[in-house]
Amino acid sequence: MTDAFELLMSIGEAASIYALVALSYMLVLRPTGIINFAVGEWALLGAFLSVSTVVTLKLPYPLAVLLVLAGVGAIAWLTERLTIRPMVERAAPLMTLILLMLAVDIVYREAAVWGYGTANHFAPMPFGSGRVEFGPFGGSTQSLVVIAATVLVFAATWYFFERTVQGKAFEAVAIDRTVASLMGINLARVTALSFFAAGAVAGLAGMLQAPLTTASYLMGLPLTIKGFSAMVIGGAGRVEGAVLGGLVLAASERLVLRYAPVPSAFAIAIPLLLLIIFLLVRPTGILKAKGAA
């Protein structure tokens, strides 16, 4: 029985990271239509920045979190300002924007390698690496931290979109850019803010993962693929889709690893296969967007 509950914790932790990355995708996708190749590298930057702030500069953890969120958010915002905005103003085709993010993604990664090298970097867990047990559940303290942080972020996001005027503005832009601007919503500001938020969320995901796996220059691409898979599976139309997609992806990965009679090496292929299947069979994901037919 311990197995099942430990697995649940493990699934929760992985689902959280995937959900955060999927959310980052959505925050950019919904208002602008751009699918952001660079999400994994934003997480990577968050991971490395957390190493710099916590390990090198030995700053207190809450301050480090703020710096990482602000830092990656700022980098994301700057990228939008310098590369995306001018191209959007020139009415560049969507494909060009996506390719741009691919190139920028490589730039981020190589800049990180320049600064931090190709070796792995240690990131400490903020609350220690002990084993926690409450009732039948057991897991590491870091799993709890990850899950708790994710719940917070999603609660805040839900509140933002459902209860605030700015959130409604976002939704309006997502539904129809032209009409939204005609209604007086400042498109440029919404886009800039969405990039900043997407960067911060991805950076947080990286910061949460770094203590678990060490910060490494290779950690970006798997997150890009898995986060995108989570978004596709759950449905890109709603924020809840990120959570659902993350859970489905994490659960299938972990359960196959634990119980399926296939060699564990094939477990790598699960997110990839799920992605391909969903793209072909149900690209809108499990949850439909609100108001969709």
Partner 1 sequence: MNGAMRTATAWIGGAALLVGLTYVLGGYGLDIYRKLLLTATLALSYNFMFGFAGQIALSHYTFYGIGAYSVTILMTQAGWSLPLAALATIGISAVVALAVAIPANRLEGFYLALATLALAQIFIVALVQGGEFTGGADGIFGFKSPEIFGIPLSGTNFVIALIGLFLGTLAVLQFLGRSYFGRACRAIRDNPRAAAAMGINVARTNIIVFTLTSSLAAIAGIFYAFADRFVNPYVFGIEPMFLLVFMVIVGGTGRHAGAIVGATVLFLLPEFLGDIVGRRYILIYGLLVVLALMFQPNGLIGLYDQLRHRLARRP
Partner 2 sequence: MPRLKYGWTTLALASALAVAGWAVPAPASAQTVKIGVITDRTGNAAFYAGQIETGLNLALKEINAAGGVNGQKIEILYEDDQNKPDLSATKARKLVGEGAVVILSISSSTTTQQAQSVTLETKTPHIAPANSADTLTTRLDNPYFFQMGPLGSDQMRTLINYTGKRFKKVALLSDSTGLSTLTAKDFKNEMTKAGIEVVVEQVIEIGATDVVPQLQRIRAANPDAIVVAAISIAEVTLFFRGYHQLGLKYPVLASYNLSVPAYLDLAPNLLNGTFFVDVFDPDKVQAKQFIDKYTAEYKKAPFGLPAFGYDAVYFVADAVKRAGSSTDKEKVRQAIADTKNFVGVIAAKDTALGFPPNKRTGYPPKGSVIRVIENNKHGKVVSSGY
Contact positions toward partner 2, by CB under 8 A? Answer: 3, 6-7, 9-10, 13-14, 17, 113, 117-122, 129, 131, 138-140, 143, 209, 212-214, 216, 218-219, 221-222, 254-255, 257-258, 263-265, 267-268
Q: Is 292 in the site for partner 1 (CB under 8 A)?
A: no
Q: What DSSP letter does each residue of 96-155 carry, written as one string?
A: HHHHHHHHHHHHHHHHHHHHH-SS-B----TT-S-EEEETTEEEEHHHHHHHHHHHHHHH
> Which of 225, 223, 228 minimizes the C-alpha distance to 43?
223
Longest Cα separation, the chain: 59
Which of 57-65, 154-162, 266-274, 284-292 is the region at the interface with partner 1 (rule: CB under 8 A)?
266-274
Task: Say whether 215 sits in a helix, a strand or coil.
Answer: strand
Q: Rounded to whole angstroms, how far apart are CA atoms 136 and 131?
A: 13
CB of 288 to partner 2, least distance (A): 29
Q: Rounded to whole angstroms, how far apart are CA atoms 63 and 66?
A: 5
Q: Is 275 in the site for partner 1 (CB under 8 A)?
A: yes
Q: Is 221 in the site for partner 1 (CB under 8 A)?
A: yes
**Contact mark string toward partner 1, 36..75, x via CB under 8 A:** -x--------------------------------------
> Residue 26 corresponds to which tokens in the numbers above?
């959505």
For partner 1, the closer of residues 203 and 220 by Cβ is 220
Q: Is 98 in the site for partner 1 (CB under 8 A)?
A: yes
Question: What does 6 bind: partner 1, partner 2, none (CB cut-off 5 to 8 Å by kind)?
Answer: partner 2
Contact positions with partner 1 (CB under 8 A) in 17-36: 35
Q: At what angle do helices 165-175 and 141-163 cross, to 10 degrees?
A: 80
Q: Is 260 in the site for partner 1 (CB under 8 A)?
A: no
Q: Is 87 in the site for partner 1 (CB under 8 A)?
A: yes
